[in-house]
Chain A
């Protein structure tokens, strides 16, 4: 192979369409993931994230479009694709009646490793994911985080060109989530390409190099987490005013100093503004409130929630911006 030919992307999907009955689950889905990166696919329930993952991993057929994993066409060579992917589905899919070691041995041997190499690989993965001590216990006694780590390890037996993680932290407690995040970081640090679907903005923010936001079967925005957040209206500053009669004055003062429209909620005595950089905006807001003589009970800086990001992106005005930007 000549050095001038760039390697194919780890994943490339163009115009995927998939219908269930009349309902389109994928409606012109495009996605390109460069090798060695972690890509977040963010969207609400029913946006088509799982359908996209199932189509890309050969589990589900699609009606139209093309997709390739590391240059191997998903439709023409599904067997070749299966040799190059690891899939960790939404449900815990290792056998509870078996031990962690037995589960990994099964996946390793099914993937075509000899008994000796399967045992080596299993040992290495158990070690790498902190499961060596629990290796020979049935997984039914595992915590949620341990199960997901075992799931992820099972997806890595052949060191795939891309690892698919479909909502890996759904249903986990905060500690379980933290250990799974750590596992994903380690996988990424080793250079494995990852496609991660999630409903949680913070998760995509923490783990992904790039994020695609998905709705109604299509990608509606894409960029680095920082790019997306600034495009999505950045942070929110919220001030709860002590005296409801001072609410309008406080809103004026905040709007003037942040140069943004302030929204007011009289019931909760709250003034909210969207700012590009929350940390920088906070001090001027405090000074402005002080100057206006408006006492506050509470002053908070918070990130946009997925709901807000999503509402912003699907609002008609935002959609026009998005199209202009293209």
Chain B
């Protein structure tokens, strides 16, 4: 064992060098930072509460205000169609809160403070990923319970339901890294606003609210290939809800698409986030 792991009797402000008990470990450090991120959210919960309230408002708006006028190709109840799409959309919107939290910490000097500590360079991003995945799980649980109250319900077995939930969180996990990358790379309030605006066309240009088959051909193709649509369709299939997809590649391979799309996103954005973190040294 290295001499650097010896404990020290230093009390108060001491001149003797203090020595660590443990070697650096990215998972332990990531968990500690995630704990801080979550504690921060518990103390200042308004961002999360409003985010959730906003999702619930959207659900109510589409389920009851627009829903009556929307027909699902292939048949089926609109609320049963809408809810899995809304779950996927909530995973997309989570990107904003990740980005905001990341750029706030960088702006306020908290990230620099972490960077001056003897911790692994992965732990800051890892902590954010663990914390945001944690509160997204909670967010998803609340939305699903709310869905049950307004008449949505899965009709399949526990294994399929669990896989559906996993695929939703898998999308959130991939998009997390987009948020971490954007938050590290673009720190101005302008950038946050731009992302808050841009998630809308990305969210709407999907099969979240209406089936791609009701759109003009070219627009439908874009919507069908949107990663959010892949996850929404897979979740519908796994929960036994109407998918709104009657033909085409996605009709047969929704689960595959919902597995591969997030993987591709993560493979691109995890390295980009790592580069952005290193670029903080510039």
Bitwise, A158-202 to B at CB < 8 A (1) or not (0) is: 111100000000000000000000000011001110000000000
Q: Are B12 and A128 in contact (CB under 8 A)?
A: yes
Interface contact tally, CB-CB below 8 A: 126
Q: Are A97 and B113 in contact (CB under 8 A)?
A: no
Chain B: how many interface residues by the 8 Å CB criterion? Answer: 42
What does DSSP make chain B's interface, helix, strand, loop or mixed? loop
Q: Are A159 and B17 in contact (CB under 8 A)?
A: yes
Q: Are A112 and B281 in contact (CB under 8 A)?
A: no
Residue A138 interfacial (CB < 8 Å): yes
Closest CB-CB distance, B105 to chain A, in whole Å? 9
Chain A residues, CB < 8 A from B116: 57-59, 82, 85-87, 89
Residue A93 interfacial (CB < 8 Å): yes
Which residues of A in the span 50-66 have a Cβ within 8 Å of any Cβ on B? 57-61
Residue A107 interfacial (CB < 8 Å): yes
Q: Are A93 and B112 in contact (CB under 8 A)?
A: yes
CA distance A156 to B109 in the complex (A): 17
Residue A98 interfacial (CB < 8 Å): yes
* CB-contact partner of B110 in A93, A113, A128, A191, under 8 A: A93
CA distance A128 to B12 in the complex (A): 6
Q: Are A112 and B15 in contact (CB under 8 A)?
A: no
Q: Are A158 and B32 in contact (CB under 8 A)?
A: no
Chain B residues, CB < 8 A from A191: 15
Q: Are B12 and A112 in contact (CB under 8 A)?
A: no
Bitwise, A65-99 to B at CB < 8 A (1) or not (0) is: 00000000000000100111111011111110110
Chain A residues, CB < 8 A from B40: 95, 97-98
Closest CB-CB distance, B199 to chain A, in whole Å? 26
Closest CB-CB distance, B28 to chain A, in whole Å? 8
Which residues of B in the span 9-50 have a Cβ within 8 Å of any Cβ on A? 10-24, 29, 32-33, 35-36, 39-40, 43-44
* CB-contact partner of B117 in A82, A98, A128, under 8 A: A82
Q: Are A161 and B17 in contact (CB under 8 A)?
A: yes
Residue A102 interfacial (CB < 8 Å): yes
Closest CB-CB distance, A188 to chain B, in whole Å? 9
Residue B8 interfacial (CB < 8 Å): yes
Chain A: how many interface residues by the 8 Å CB criterion? Answer: 50
Residue B119 interfacial (CB < 8 Å): yes
Q: A95-B36, A97-B40, A98-B40 are in contact. List 19 more A-B contacts (CB 8 A).
A: A58-B281, A82-B116, A93-B112, A93-B113, A97-B44, A110-B119, A112-B23, A114-B22, A117-B7, A125-B13, A127-B12, A156-B13, A158-B17, A159-B8, A159-B10, A159-B16, A160-B18, A186-B13, A190-B13
| Chain B residues engaging chain A, CB cutoff 8 angstroms | 4, 7-8, 10-24, 29, 32-33, 35-36, 39-40, 43-44, 108-110, 112-119, 123, 280-282
| Chain A residues engaging chain B, CB cutoff 8 angstroms | 36, 57-61, 79, 82-87, 89-95, 97-98, 102, 106-107, 109-114, 117, 121, 124-125, 127-128, 138, 154, 156-161, 186-187, 190-192
Question: Could you pull out 21 A-B pairs where Cβ atoms are within 8 angstroms?
Answer: A59-B112, A82-B118, A85-B116, A87-B112, A89-B109, A89-B113, A92-B109, A93-B109, A93-B110, A93-B113, A95-B40, A98-B36, A102-B39, A112-B118, A114-B22, A121-B10, A125-B12, A157-B18, A159-B13, A161-B17, A190-B12
